[in-house]
Amino acid sequence: MALRTASRALRQLSRQANGIPSGAMRARPSTRGYATPTMGQQNRTAIVTGSSRGIGKAIALRLAQDGYDLCINDIPANKSGADEVVKHVQGMGRRAFPYMADVSNLKEVEDMVQASVSELGPLNTMVANAGIAQVKALLDLTEQDLKRMFEVNVYGVFNCYSSAAKQMIKQGNGGKLLGAASIVAFKPFALLSHYSASKWAVRGMTQAFAMEMAEHKITVNAYAPGIVGTAMWDLIDEELGKKKGAKKGDTIKKYSSELIALGRTSVPEDVSSTVSFLCSPDSDYMTGQTIVIDGGIIFT
């Protein structure tokens, strides 16, 4: 007993000699609260842009399953699809409403955020999913091609991030911002140059927002799908096939067999599962990351 007491006394004297106060050897991590309610809490809300079909639809349905009430967004041309998603979400026992807005228009996005708060309550999560793609050779690109690509894919994400962040800061409880990047945010594809550049910008903007929003307890992350069986990739496959003389479907099959380690094209639910994690409390200590979900094309 005397030996153990002497040993503790010596350790305490050593700490004091080195300027370390007693009890400081085991630093306790501080906790930070985020606006990601658990399944049992009310007002778990999210806006998912471009959610009338494809990956956006899968994300909306997964978040409804996770307990979110949802604002289903798309452009007016896709209203019927948005209405169907709303009905599906409501059939799962969650609240949902459609809101038609072009994400490239800041005022429309700001109005959408306010409509979501009015309809569903405080905004917890923004998923800036809407985007466009175009297959075109670099030297054939027009100024309008570049402009429209960046208006939707870059300005659109900025508009969603900034409008949602301002609302979350006003609420004072933090939140989650998510953006749609792509594997081309890490390695561009030929004939998808301006699309690739726009997704690199999303990745960079996500990191910049993460740095500036941290003090407000808002985390900012992006998800980077690979080759997904959606209407967008059907178009890419068709246009690449025209350029290379391949039949419809052959380009995606070739990519799947030669590029994807897991040997299959992904489905929207592969992406929505990861987005579910990024929206959940389990990812509260992650920010500024772009998570690749591509079956093993890009290794980060």
Question: What are the residue ranges spanned by the domains of the chain?
Answer: 39-227+267-293
* Domain 39-227+267-293 annotated CATH 3.30.60.50: no
DSSP H or E segment with residue 127 = strand 125-128
C-alpha span between 92 and 138 (Å, rounded): 45
Give the position of tokens 């007993």: 1
pLDDT tens, the chain, 300 aa long: 444 544 555 455 444 544 544 444 444 445 555 556 555 555 899 999 999 999 999 999 999 999 999 999 999 999 999 999 999 999 999 999 999 999 999 999 999 999 999 999 999 999 999 999 998 889 999 999 999 999 999 999 999 999 999 999 999 999 999 999 999 999 998 889 999 999 999 999 999 999 999 999 999 999 999 988 766 667 777 777 777 777 777 777 777 778 899 988 899 999 999 999 999 999 999 999 999 999 999 998
24 phi and psi angles, rounded to 5 deg: -95, 0
Q: Which residues pair with 73 in a beta bridge?
A: 99
Q: Exposure of 59 by Cβ count < 10 A (0-12 exposed, 13-18 middle, 19+ buried)?
A: buried
Using DSSP, state whether 266 is helix, strand or coil: strand
Tokens of 130: 């809407």
Residue type, 149: M
Helices (H), the chain: 2-17, 54-65, 79-91, 106-120, 143-150, 156-171, 193-213, 231-244, 250-258, 268-279
Angle formed at CA 273 by CA 69 and CA 74, multiple of 5 degrees: 50
C-alpha span between 179 and 18 (Å, rounded): 47
Spatial contact of 284 and 218, defined as CB atoms under 8 Å apart: no
Which residues are catalytic, by number? 195
C-alpha span between 213 and 221 (Å, rounded): 11
47 phi and psi angles, rounded to 5 deg: -105, 130
Q: Exposure of 189 by Cβ count < 10 A (0-12 exposed, 13-18 middle, 19+ buried)?
A: middle
Helix%, strand%, coil% for the chain, nearest 5: 50, 15, 35
The pLDDT, as a whole number, for residue 13 is 47
Maximal CA-CA distance, the chain? 87
Query: Residue 26, Cβ neighbours under 10 Å: how many?
Result: 5
Q: Cα-atom radius of gyration of the chain, to the nearest Å?
A: 23
Q: pTM of the entire structure?
A: 0.85
Give the position of tokens 């093993």: 296
Q: Exposure of 259 by Cβ count < 10 A (0-12 exposed, 13-18 middle, 19+ buried)?
A: middle
